[in-house]
Structure 1
Amino acid sequence: MNILDKIIVRKKEEIAFSKSKISVEKMKNSEYFGRKTFSLKESVKARNGIIAEFKRQSPSKGIINDKVASLEIVTKYEEFGASGISILTDKDFFGGSFEDILSVRNSVNIPILRKDFMVDEYQFYEAKSIGADVVLLIAACLSPTQVQEFTALAHELNLEVLLEIHTEEELEHFNSEIDLVGINNRNLKDFKVDLQHSVNLKNLLPKGTLSVAESGIYNVEDFKFLKEKGFDAFLMGEYFMKNENPGNKFKEFVDVIN
């Protein structure tokens, strides 16, 4: 099994355990379930287009930064112009937790993406209950039918959908209800990064699709290259998080690109 397969096997075990502990009805009574969500689509157009990520670790890089709290970082991301915030909630492989969203939800007024491996309807109620505004659907671990069904459920819950693709075959997962399409510069199966591959794939999307360049953006030159090629938004995490003060690193980056 490749790493993505291993993650999905573990994720299904996690979901089964969670279902035995917390019902959907209980989640519907949570503090955040009824809140009005923020739109990432609108925020991308209104702010600098960067979806800044809070991420402690990853399977490919190991520990990136486990010394900082999410609240300390994401408030700086918002202050310095981020369009949205991506927060990992996968524990075993990325060191994330629901608390990383819960602890910041009332302190920021921009959209939060729950970044996780969504393979079950139950997770969408989780996302809503912890205060997320957007969910990630990864084409590599879903069928086109699942993407369509999950998108409909997300919209019922007033959550936007970011569909992540990496191959031309995964374009089949796209449907007109998808809010944004992320193109992962990094292959999740072997972790190789290829920006030109992403540009080629972006050019195959239907005209008018909001596109997000994801992962592997390591410097200003990478950012400018992708922006010049027409990407609307940029999901960046490691570049900021590997610094001991990710908020300051984000500000430095924004100062250079503006």
Structure 2
Amino acid sequence: MDILDKIIIDKKREVALKKSIISVAHLENSALFGNRTISLSKVLRNSPSGIIAEHKRRSPSKSIINQDFSVEEVVKGYESAGACGISVLTDGKYFGGSLDDLLLARASVNVPLLRKEFIVDEYQILEAKAHGADVILLIAAVLTRSEIKQLSEFAQSLALEVLLEVHNKEELDKSIMLSLDMIGVNNRNLKTFEVSLDFSKELAGHIPDEFVKISESGISSIEAIRELNPFGYQGFLIGENFMKTDNAGLAAKEFISKLLL
């Protein structure tokens, strides 16, 4: 059993426990549930940088990245830097995140927020909406085509956009459907943690143009983004590269400024 399988087993248990104590009605009656969402796909289509900056404390592959920043200072720094959107890790056991991080991010900034999570149940999409998310992530590696369809249509019924993450052509082929807004190619194999921009390059031509293309993971330089631009990528998700510094917001600002030169 690899790390991804372990995460999904733990996530299903976690969701079952949460459902037993926090009702759907409670989530639907939350203060943020009726908020108007902000379109990340529209921002990316009109952005010269395409940077989606991530709040990420740790990961299974890198252990602790940075536990010192407050959510507020990180996301405000990202917004000030000109990030198109902000990704917030909400998994606790493996990434050190929480739904409170998403809530604090929503209270701090007015840019599109992605709930970065291993979503396996509609309940988590209700949680995302109730805590201020604009976008949810679905990971093709852990979902069937029918599950992707059910979850993505449910998200869109709540005015949430959907970013579908793939790693290979098989995952992409099973996942293409109208209820997606963006397709992200993860340059890190979630089973082996191997990282290569070749994954984004190889899949680019197979992603229909109606979807915003996003490249995720392993992007640590301006050169990497310029290398991917000709392949039609309009979004670039970067977390570790900013979070491992002493000032994530400043690191993002310097990166985006150089990118736009």
Q: What whole-Å deviation, never above 9, does each CA across 1:173-202 have from its counterpart, x for those lacking one?
A: 121221000000110000001112221111
CA contact (8 A) 1:43 1:110 kept: no
1: distance between equivalents of 2:204 and 2:80? 30
The number of aligned residues is: 258
Structure-2 residue corresponding to 1:86: 87
Are 2:57 and 1:45 aligned? no
TM-score (norm 1): 0.98
2: distance between equivalents of 1:143 and 1:188? 17
Structure-2 residue corresponding to 1:252: 254
Structure-1 residue corresponding to 2:148: 147
Q: Cα distance, 1:143 vs. partner? A: 0.4
Q: What whole-Å deviation, never above 9, does each CA across 1:147-175 have from its counterpart, x for those lacking one?
A: 11111100111100000000110111121
1: distance between equivalents of 2:12 and 2:83? 32
2: distance between equivalents of 1:209 and 1:133? 17
1:53 maps to amino acid: E
Q: Which runs of 4+ in 1 moved over 3 A?
A: none
Structure-1 residue corresponding to 2:20: 20
> Residues 1-258 of structure 1 correspond to what in structure 2 (within 5 A)?
1-47=1-47, 48-171=49-172, 172-258=174-260
What secondary structure, in the 3-state scheme, does the structure 2 residue paired with 1:243 have?
coil
Q: Cα distance, 1:78 vs. partner? A: 1.1
What secondary structure, in the 3-state scheme, does the structure 2 residue paired with 1:104 have?
helix
2: distance between equivalents of 1:167 and 1:200? 9
Q: Cα distance, 1:30 vs. partner? A: 0.5
Q: Cα distance, 1:224 vs. partner? A: 1.6
2: distance between equivalents of 1:164 and 1:104? 22
Q: Percent identity?
A: 49
- Give 5+ residue unaligned stretches, structure 2: none
- Give 5+ residue unaligned stretches, structure 1: none
Q: Cα distance, 1:130 vs. partner? A: 0.4
2: distance between equivalents of 1:46 and 1:230? 13
Q: What whole-Å deviation, never above 9, does each CA across 1:50-92 have from its counterpart, x for those lacking one?
A: 1100000000001000000111011111112111000000000
Deviates more, 1:99-108 or 1:24-33: 99-108
Q: What whole-Å deviation, never above 9, does each CA across 1:104-160 have from its counterpart, x for those lacking one?
A: 213211110000000011111100100100000000000011111111100111100
CA contact (8 A) 1:163 1:174 kept: no
2: distance between equivalents of 1:188 and 1:197? 13
Q: How big is the alpha-carbon RMSD for the aligned residues of Structure 1 and Structure 2?
A: 0.9
CA contact (8 A) 1:87 1:112 kept: yes
TM-score (norm 2): 0.97
